[in-house]
Amino acid sequence: MCRAVLITFLFLAVTIFAKIPVACGAQVLDAFFVADRPFPEFVHYWSDLAPEEWSTAAERESRRTLGGYIHVYVRNDAADRVSIEDVCLQGISLKQAIAFSGQRKFKKVAQAASIFFSKLSDSERGVLVAAGEPVWYKIDPITVESGNTAGVVIRLRQQPATPSIDVTLKLNSGNLDVSVVTSPRTSLVKSLSFGSGLKEAYCYLEKGDGVSSVKQILLDGRDITADCTIASDPNIRILPVVCRLSDPLKRGSFHTFTAVLSDGSKATAGLRCWDTELFYGIWGARSGRSGDVALARRFIDELAEHNINGHMITIASDAVREYMNSPEGRRHMEQLGIRRVVMDPANELKAAAYYLADEPDTADYKVEGVPPGSKIGCLGQGLIQRAHELRSIDSSTPNMLNVDMTFKPDNWYTYGQLPDIFAADPYFQSHLADVYYRKPYRIPAYTKATEVYAVASCAYSACAPKPLHIILNSTQVVQSDWKFRFATPVEKRIEVYYALAAGAKAVSYWWFVPLSARGVGSNGLGADTPEARALWREIGLLGAEVRTIGSLISRSCPAEVHVETDHRLWVKSLISGTDTALFLVVNDDYACDRVGTVIKLVDEAKLKISLPKWLIPTAVFEVSCDGVSDVKWQAEGSNLAVDLGRVNVTRLIVVTSNSALRGELQEIYQSKFAQNVAKLRSKQ
């Protein structure tokens, strides 16, 4: 029936045993366990701690046992398509084990499921708990065409207690068995994105100890090394790989990328492919009555004038909702390059993404019949079911899921690998208001907007190599007996830089809708106040800035590049392909309080950068909301000196060996954003 295939990975002695039935017609390309990454340095954002408790809590967090993911990637080598009908963990069917309860959330979009709803015996449930307690599992795609690949992902709540885990894929043509060693894999694919037309893939590998280089790149198990540019530097843990694809990939198709490393180990990731522009969006709209087409048109024009290219599902305006759903409104948005994230497919609507649900973790704790420690993720299997429904209607559009700030940080770990696009919403100003009015002992944690970088970093680690979308706050908190301020332009600028530095590939703002005169809640950007107008203007200026380099961000990956600078500057780097690096500079000499933001200028600022050995610069320049400009720089080998001069709030420095890049970015800015920026500047 079967023959045993033994594949030995030298790295960490990770061994996978696969029994592949001849009739099955499929083979395992890779299988491994990825552990959640702890962030003890940010633990004071995960719970209500006073400063004197931070160090103790950080030490405790560094020792806490987290969960992780089992990944199995297979290829169909049969002449006919095959279907993956079930997944067994330690011989127990997950289709039966992760049972639905009948409890539905999100207007019946997702039904709760858990091993505690199943008819398993206590001993069977104990086996699954020892194996890490599966929360949800995903098969993508369920039906695999000949020559194509699929991925199976199993979310485990805890590190498995067993040294290995047996996984069986139940195919319509037979069973495929694999035993996965639970020692966490340390060489990982940290980012995987695609160029325009899906003709290039940008793959970034985080190498484990003992790995020096990449020996081979496989696409769906086939060697494409000759078509790849592979770079490495022993001092940098990220290895960038640019793959030139002889045949463009199909939008929405699933593919598996594998890097065979210098020590014989592998780093593998599989995902669906998209090549969309960087998303820069807004939630909500100007309030308007049904039929007010003129108001709706003006609002969409206003979005474009503020360099917004995305609109999220929540509108709270009959006029705008009706117009956006009309043929005229869709044409209007398409002409302006504005895409929508929507809940459901609709005729003639080219959505940016389908929204699976908003903040499922806020409903997890309401699920009944599950132990408190096992509630987070109860809606996961129901959301996967919803994702399959959407995929059957439209496979060329990604799905998206946003997770809130409950059950921190386990909520991000638990849901990170579920959608195509993962989102988190660190609303700094809302939390700052809460600190001042309810928890003043926490003020030291919120004198800076670091929470945004903390949440984005954790969320990125959970969803990698898929894209991360960060939702930032753009409202004023209003209560019956007090109200807080809007974010200052300085705060929001710093927050955007924090999000991008952590690895975000998209940004949006919650939200635009203003409160009525006596309203209580979140007063949006549409409020006619000086604070709201100043913030809305800054969002527009930031849009011009980040969208000018949007393609560089979309194909980038965070990397630790050594930089020496003034202690008052915060500097992070992104690697973009093998020819470019971005340096995000933030003036760290600032403080936030209930009144506003205080920031002190940094004069005579300089950067001393130890560039990756593969990057020999031919151009170093700055990109801002005012376009592309020169900076003073000098390079000697891999050492680069950049003279920034005065740093007000932020600076964005591009270092590249591509001599044409500067002109290309300037053309993008002039053709798309310069006129809008001039209008926004005139309103200051």
- Residues 620, 476, single domain; the answer is no
Give residue 433's region: left, alpha or beta (phi > 0; psi -120 to 50): alpha
Q: What percent of the chain has pLDDT over 70?
A: 95
Query: Confidence band (pLDDT; 50, 70, 90) for 5?
Result: very low
Record the tokens describing residue 586, joined without a space: 């933030």
Over residues 262-287, the pLDDT tens digits come to 999 999 999 999 998 999 999 999 98
Query: Confidence band (pLDDT; 50, 70, 90) for 518?
Result: low
User: Which of residues 588 and 20 earns the better pLDDT score?
Assistant: 588
Query: Quick one: pLDDT at residue 25?
Result: 85
For residues 194-202, give the mean pLDDT.
Answer: 95
- Residues 549, 629, single domain; the answer is no
The closest alpha carbon to 364, from 380, 347, 344, 349, belongs to 380
pTM for the structure as a whole:
0.95
* Residue 19 clears pLDDT 50, i.e. is over it: no
Strands 174-181 and 15-21: antiparallel
- Residues 305, 244, single domain; the answer is no
* CA-based end-to-end distance of the chain: 75
Query: Confidence band (pLDDT; 50, 70, 90) for 348?
Result: low
Query: Quick one: pLDDT at residue 602?
Result: 98
Over residues 208-223, the pLDDT tens digits come to 888 889 999 999 999 9
Q: Which helix (H) or strand (E) holds 677?
A: helix 674-682
- Angle, alpha carbons 223-225-227 (nearest 5°): 110
d(CA 423, CA 359): 9
Q: Which helix (H) or strand (E) holds 295?
A: helix 293-305
Over residues 528-576, the pLDDT tens digits come to 899 999 999 999 999 999 999 999 999 999 999 999 999 999 999 999 9
Over residues 405-415, the pLDDT tens digits come to 888 999 999 99
Query: Quick one: pLDDT at residue 1?
Result: 35
CATH number at residue 657: 2.60.40.1180
- Residues 244, 310, single domain; the answer is no
Mean pLDDT of all residues belonging to the chain: 93
Query: Quick one: pLDDT at residue 533?
Result: 97
- Residues 349, 260, single domain; the answer is no
Residue 511: asked if its preceding bond is cis (omega within 30°), the reply is: yes
- Residues 441, 308, single domain; the answer is yes
* Residue 107 clears pLDDT 80, i.e. is over it: no
- Residues 269, 289, single domain; the answer is no
Write down which residue in 218, 252, 274 finishes a domain.
Answer: 274
For residues 360-372, give the mean pLDDT.
Answer: 91
* Residue 8, strand partner residues: 15
Write down which residue in 251, 274, 297 finishes a domain.
Answer: 274
d(CA 205, CA 188): 6
Within 13 Å of residue 44, how many CA atoms lie on the same side as its CB?
A: 18
Structural domain boundaries enclosing 536: 279-554
Q: For residues 545-563, b (16+ Cβ closer than 10 Å) or e, as one string? A: bbbbbbbbbbbbbbbebeb
Over residues 599-626, the pLDDT tens digits come to 999 999 999 999 999 999 999 999 999 9
Query: Quick one: pLDDT at residue 11?
Result: 32
Query: Confidence band (pLDDT; 50, 70, 90) for 673?
Result: very high
CATH number at residue 451: 3.20.20.80
CB atoms near residue 200 (< 10 Å): 20
The closest alpha carbon to 606, from 578, 634, 582, 630, belongs to 634
Query: Quick one: pLDDT at residue 17?
Result: 36
* Residue 347 clears pLDDT 90, i.e. is over it: no
d(CA 279, CA 355): 14
- Residues 156, 270, single domain; the answer is yes
Least confident of 5-14, 54-63, 97-106, 170-179: 5-14
Query: Quick one: pLDDT at residue 345?
Result: 87
Over residues 284-319, the pLDDT tens digits come to 999 899 999 999 999 999 999 999 999 998 777 899
The closest alpha carbon to 99, from 111, 117, 86, 122, belongs to 117
- Residues 297, 266, single domain; the answer is no
- Residues 210, 316, single domain; the answer is no
Query: Quick one: pLDDT at residue 20?
Result: 37
- Residues 268, 291, single domain; the answer is no
Over residues 22-44, the pLDDT tens digits come to 347 899 999 999 999 999 999 99
- Residues 225, 362, single domain; the answer is no
Q: What is the DSSP code string of 386-405?
A: HHHHHHHH-TTS-EEEEE-S
Query: Quick one: pLDDT at residue 506?
Result: 98
* Residue 15 clears pLDDT 70, i.e. is over it: no
Write down which residue in 274, 308, 339 finishes a domain.
Answer: 274
* Residue 18 clears pLDDT 80, i.e. is over it: no
For residues 148-173, give the mean pLDDT.
Answer: 96
CB atoms near residue 273 (< 10 Å): 19
* Residue 105 clears pLDDT 90, i.e. is over it: no
User: What total of structural domains would you count in the chain?
Assistant: 3
Q: Which long-range contacts (CB under 8 A, 24 or more apart) does 454-457 make?
A: 454/39, 454/42, 454/45, 454/426, 455/45, 455/405, 455/412, 455/424, 455/426, 456/424, 456/426, 456/498, 456/499, 456/502, 456/503, 456/504, 457/39, 457/42, 457/502, 457/503
Query: Quick one: pLDDT at residue 108?
Result: 62
* Residue 664 clears pLDDT 50, i.e. is over it: yes
Query: Quick one: pLDDT at residue 12?
Result: 33
* Residue 455 clears pLDDT 80, i.e. is over it: yes
* Residue 507 clears pLDDT 60, i.e. is over it: yes
Query: Quick one: pLDDT at residue 236?
Result: 95
